[in-house]
């Protein structure tokens, strides 16, 4: 009976939608969103797939340093996300991603503190973002997915929302000092249910499903850009 009460409590909390902070609103509407919308001619397709309330693991590809602020602001709902600890040493970027609700994660292996923080945010009802490869990919695709997102979803029983960030790797390639103002847009996929267990095979299966979903949306986005 006690276990049942605990489950009910978590489900109740997960239906919440924590309020965004004043700083987040300022950074979002006065800085990040205008840059995304006008300089990069950004648009978001399929945003109705994002639940308006409750914990959800937002999972995307990672092509450039532009991804954290874009992912944190272009969906119309605050997204707290893991970001590599090195980014918090860059003054302006550190301020922006911190205002987005980002928290640092150390490279290599699992960062227990970051996983604990992410789990708590999901249980509180936050949308929590994870880059599936864990680091930037030069081709902007999901090439070497990690199972962290699936683990978080299984641990908190939160649904998974795949998101493809199209062209950010071209807008700000690795090694570049200045961005190129090419069109960037987001494609939001359908929700994926969390793994039924935390067993390795279940985590790998769900991770593969996320990878296929994101890469398929990236292909669709490239085809659309070519046609246009």
| Look-up of token digits 């949306």 | 217
Residue 96 CB partners (closer than 8 Å, separation 6+): 27, 31, 32, 68, 69
pLDDT above 50: residue 31 = yes
Taking only the tens place, the pLDDT of each residue in 144-166 is 999 999 999 999 999 999 999 99
Give the integer Cα–Cα distance in Å for 77 and 20: 8
The average pLDDT across 118-126 equals 90
**Local confidence band at 57 (pLDDT 50, 70, 90 cut-offs):** very high
Q: How far apart are the first and last CA of the chain?
A: 58
Residues 6 or more apart whose Cβ sits within 8 Å of residue 91: none
Global pTM value: 0.84
pLDDT value, residue 107: 64
Q: What CA–CA distance (Å, rounded) separates 166 from 183? A: 8
Confidence bin at 182 (pLDDT 50/70/90) = very high
pLDDT higher at 88 or 63 = 63
Question: Could you say which DSSP state residue 62 is in?
Answer: -
Helix or strand (DSSP H, E) at 222: helix 200-227
pLDDT category at 36 given cuts 50, 70, 90 is: very high
Half-sphere exposure of 188 (CA within 13 A, CB side): 19
Average pLDDT, stretch 127-139? 92
Kindly tell me the burial class for residue 119, based on how many C-beta atoms sit within 10 Å of its own C-beta (0-12, 13-18, 19 or more). Answer: middle
Q: Which of 9-13, 46-50, 79-83, 209-213 has the lowest mean pLDDT?
A: 9-13
Instruction: Answer whether residue 183 shows pLDDT above 70.
Output: yes
pLDDT of residue 2: 34
Chain mean pLDDT for the chain: 85
Query: Which residues, 6 or more positions from 116, have their beta carbon under 8 angstroms from its beta carbon?
Result: none
CA distance linking residue 23 with residue 50, whole number of Å: 23
Which pLDDT does position 213 carry in this prediction? 98
What's the distance, CA 84 to chain centroid? Answer: 13
In angstroms, how far is CA 45 from the centroid of its own chain?
A: 15
- The answer to whether 61 and 141 have CB atoms below 8 angstroms apart is yes
């Amino acid at each position: 009976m006690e276990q049942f009460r605990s489950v009910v409590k978590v489900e109740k909390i997960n239906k919440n939608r924590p309020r965004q902070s004043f700083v987040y609103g300022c950074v979002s509407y006065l800085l990040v969103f205008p840059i995304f919308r006008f300089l990069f001619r950004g648009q978001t397709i399929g945003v109705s797939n994002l639940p308006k309330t409750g914990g959800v693991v937002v999972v995307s590809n990672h092509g450039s340093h532009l991804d954290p602020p874009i992912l944190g602001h272009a969906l119309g709902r605050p997204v707290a996300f893991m970001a590599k600890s090195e980014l918090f040493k860059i003054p302006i970027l550190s301020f922006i991603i911190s205002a987005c609700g980002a928290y640092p994660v150390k490279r290599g292996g699992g960062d227990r503190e970051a996983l604990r923080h992410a789990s708590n945010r999901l249980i509180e009802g936050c949308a929590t973002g994870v880059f599936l490869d864990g680091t930037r990919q030069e081709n902007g695709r999901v090439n070497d997915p990690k199972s962290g997102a699936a683990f978080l979803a299984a641990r908190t029983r939160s649904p998974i929302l795949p998101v493809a960030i199209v062209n950010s790797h071209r807008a700000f390639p690795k090694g570049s000092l200045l961005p190129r103002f090419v069109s960037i847009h987001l494609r939001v996929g359908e929700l994926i249910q969390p793994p039924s267990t935390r067993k390795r095979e279940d985590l790998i299966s769900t991770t593969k499903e996320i990878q296929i979903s994101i890469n398929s949306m990236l292909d669709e986005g490239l085809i659309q850009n070519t046609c246009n």
